[in-house]
Structures are given as structure tokens and as C-alpha cells.
Structure 1
């Protein structure tokens, strides 16, 4: 079998298929994953924001994770990534404007939390309907974080994203919202 030209000069690692059609393969050079929907005949490149993808595990066609020097995961067939950016303890909670904005395939939502908290990101359409929810990864330590959001299952339009932070007892200590624009 020849190496598909979509891979270029990358050395492939971590091949996994969810079924006969849908599969992923990572590489050891950069933050890239390749996805197939036709059993490996064609591949599309996706930026995973994790440097190197040596291990890939899939639960089904929508849920899985990959990692080497960080972890990307998916719960909707697109890629999401969360990672800590700083060990410094910030003095405030803050939700920053996503970038890029407007965005086409993915955007980064950055936030800081000043105390250990459960953080949740929710996205709403302009009618107030919840279209996405990232329930967090348990208690995050105080610090600055980035979350990579993909709008694969959304229509072009204006959306509101909200960060909510709660203590381990469930008391809300912070909530803020911002507007983002998705263009397909």
C-alpha cells in the first residue's frame, strides 16, 4: 500500500478506526491529524493543537482522544483541546474574546480562573438554544487555559459562548459571556 499524498513527508503514527469507514491517523512531526470517512482511500488534515499524535483511541465515530505532548479529544466528531498555559495564579476570573473571530473551522477560547474551580463552556445560538456544552475536566487549578472549539455541526452565524466556574461544592463563583461569529 502506498502512502497517501495527503500525508506529505510526515511519518504516520497511531492509526485507529472506529468502524470500516471512519478512522484517524496521527504523526510525530507536528500538530496534525488526518481523518478518513471512506476506509482510508482519502484523508483530510485537521489541526489538533497537540504536538505529535502517537496514540489514538476511539470509542465510536464521534468520541475519542489522541495524545503525545498533550491530549486532544472529541465528543462531536471534530477536535477539541484543553491545556493549561500558565502556572501563575491569576488575581481574577476572566473570559477572553475568542480568536480568530470570525472563525471558519476552529477558534480558541481562553480563560483564567483564580481559584480551583469546575469550569464549563456552553455555546448558544441567537435564539438562546444551547448548541454545545463542554462540561469540563473536573476541578481545574487556578491558572490560564485555552479551549479549542470546532463549529463542525453548526450553521454560519453569530453565537454566544459562556464560561461558568463553580467550586467543588457547586457554588457558582464566576460567569461571563462573549459573542463569536462562525463562517462556513
Structure 2
């Protein structure tokens, strides 16, 4: 890094390069650095936290969700009246990891929408909802 005195400082840290700093973070910003050992999260739930970003959504929205167990996942976008305006079945979601899908909102008008995430396996089904805003 540079300084006001015109000097340049260089540090050489031993070990692997971690471009996304933070405990257990990966280069994909998924919250898990695969170069280090960690116990996977355990839960009786199928779905963990989920959200859509950026907030508010402009043209493209990224849905990120944590999946605790192996399951089929379906993500739907509903208008404020509950009518489905789009959706996707997530192909091969990874358990014990954050997964992402992308939605294109360029043909939708400004307003409040509902994100619906459903996870289902042979023994359980979970559905979660979250509101979000679209401002173009």
C-alpha cells in the first residue's frame, strides 16, 4: 500500500491466498473457505437463511439460500396479489452450502414482490416467503 510520504509498503503473508477476507469465506463470497476444514452445519430444517439482492432489485436479482440437507428446491417470484410471475427449479443444489439463482426483472414494473423458496426431500417439505422491492 502507499503512504503520504511516498513510500510503498509490501507485505508477504505465508499460507494460501484468501482474496475475500473473513472467517471461513471463499473466493466466491459463499461464506465457506474450502481450503480449511470445518464441520458442516447441522439442522433438522431443510432451508436456512435466504434473501434476494441487491435491495432494492433493479434489473437482475440474485436469490441466495442456504440448504441444510439434500433436497429439490424451487424458487418462485410472486406479485403482491400472490400470482406467480416467474420461477425456476434449481438444478443440483448443494447441501450445507449457499446456492444462488438469478432472475431478470426488466419486463416487470416497480413495486413489492414476494420471494417463495420451497425445498422438498423424501421426508420433509418447507416453504419460506420474503418480500422485496423492485425499483428500476
Fold in common (TM above 0.5)? yes
1:91 paired residue number? 42
Residue segments in structure 1 that go unaligned for 5+ positions in a row: 1-82
Figure out how many residues of one structure are paired with residues of the other and give that number.
99
CA RMSD after TM alignment:
2.3
Structure 1 Cα separation of the partners of residues 62 and 115 of structure 2: 11
Structure that is richer in strand per residue: 1
Structure 1 Cα separation of the partners of residues 102 and 75 of structure 2: 11
2:66 paired residue number? 112
Q: Measure how far apart 1:128 and its partner are.
A: 0.9
Change (3 A) 1:183 1:117: same
CA distances 1:30-70 after superposition (whole Å, capped 9, x unpaired): xxxxxxxxxxxxxxxxxxxxxxxxxxxxxxxxxxxxxxxxx
| TM-score (structure 2 length as normaliser) | 0.63
SS in 1 for 2:53: coil
Structure 2 Cα separation of the partners of residues 90 and 147 of structure 1: 21
- Structure 2 residue corresponding to 1:132, chosen from 81, 86, 98: 86
2:24 paired residue number? none
- Structure 2 residue corresponding to 1:174, chosen from 100, 116, 126: 126
Structure 2 Cα separation of the partners of residues 121 and 90 of structure 1: 22
Structure 1 Cα separation of the partners of residues 41 and 101 of structure 2: 18
Is contact 1:159-1:180 (8 Å) kept? yes
| Alignment pair present for 1:156 and 2:110 | yes
2:17 paired residue number? none
Larger radius of gyration: 2
1:10 paired residue number? none
Change (3 A) 1:124 1:172: farther
